[in-house]
């Protein structure tokens, strides 16, 4: 049985989080894999940590960080002033995939979003991730919108 501990990430977790982000078919080409964490990651962590609408989370199993994700709570005027949540940078260690860690992580994240009063939870996923799409479908997410990005 999986007995994960979820907690807010601390600065000392940064190297493990960056490694999880890089331990992925797409992340391998866009994330650093250095023994020391780059100053840009450190600044991003500080920006996330100082924003009350952000939760950078790690999942631990027996002291090892096996997963991570970032929740952003978005207040808005649409939907009658509803708050929504965005989940990003979801990763499970490649050594620990297919152990239901992702499902446990999402259940925990969904519960936090409900506690925050969010009326919906949204995510984006790269078109090159069919396994992730099947996973999100299984969790009840629906592909209701088309996402666009403009690289700056």
32-43: per-residue pLDDT in tens? Answer: 665 566 888 899
d(CA 123, CA 141): 9
Question: Quick check: is 151 in a domain?
Answer: no
Q: How many domains in the chain?
A: 1
Given this model, what pLDDT does residue 44 score?
Answer: 94
Domain of residue 53: give its range.
5-139
Given this model, what pLDDT does residue 121 score?
Answer: 98
Least confident of 21-25, 69-73, 94-98, 115-119: 21-25
Given this model, what pLDDT does residue 135 score?
Answer: 94
d(CA 48, CA 45): 5
Question: Quick check: is 147 in a domain?
Answer: no
Given this model, what pLDDT does residue 28 score?
Answer: 58
d(CA 39, CA 132): 30
d(CA 140, CA 26): 24
Given this model, what pLDDT does residue 10 score?
Answer: 97
Question: Quick check: is 24 in a domain?
Answer: yes
34, β-bridge pairs: none
> What SS3 state is found at 145?
coil
d(CA 111, CA 79): 20
Strands 5-8 and 54-61: antiparallel
Q: What is the mean pLDDT of residues 112-123?
A: 97
Q: How far is CA 107 from CA 76, 111, 121, 134, 152, in A?
A: 24, 6, 12, 16, 34
Band of pLDDT at residue 30, cut at 50, 70 and 90: low
> Is a pLDDT exceeding 80 seen at residue 143?
yes
Strands 118-123 and 83-92: parallel
Given this model, what pLDDT does residue 39 score?
Answer: 85
Q: What is the mean pLDDT of residues 135-140?
A: 95
Q: What CATH number does residue 71 fall under?
A: 3.40.630.30
Question: Quick check: is 121 in a domain?
Answer: yes
Question: Quick check: is 88 in a domain?
Answer: yes
> Do you know the residue count of the chain?
152
Question: Quick check: is 108 in a domain?
Answer: yes
Q: What is the mean pLDDT of residues 9-37?
A: 79
For residue range 119-133, what is the model confidence (pLDDT) as tens digits? 999 999 988 889 999
């Amino acid at each position: 049985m999986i007995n994960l501990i979820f907690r807010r990430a601390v600065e000392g977790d940064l190297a493990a989080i960056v490694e999880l982000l890089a331990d992925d078919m797409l992340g391998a080409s866009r994330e650093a894999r250095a023994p020391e964490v780059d100053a840009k990651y450190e600044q991003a962590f500080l920006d996330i940590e100082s924003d009350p609408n952000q939760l950078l989370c790690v999942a631990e199993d027996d002291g090892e960080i096996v997963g991570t994700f970032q929740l952003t709570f978005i207040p808005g005027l649409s939907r009658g002033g509803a708050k929504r949540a965005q989940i990003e940078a979801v990763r499970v260690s490649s050594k620990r995939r297919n152990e239901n860690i992702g499902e446990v992580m999402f259940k925990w994240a969904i519960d936090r979003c409900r506690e925050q009063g969010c009326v919906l939870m949204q995510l984006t996923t790269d078109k090159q991730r069919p396994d992730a799409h099947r996973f999100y479908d299984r969790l009840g997410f629906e592909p209701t919108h088309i996402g666009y990005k403009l690289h700056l």
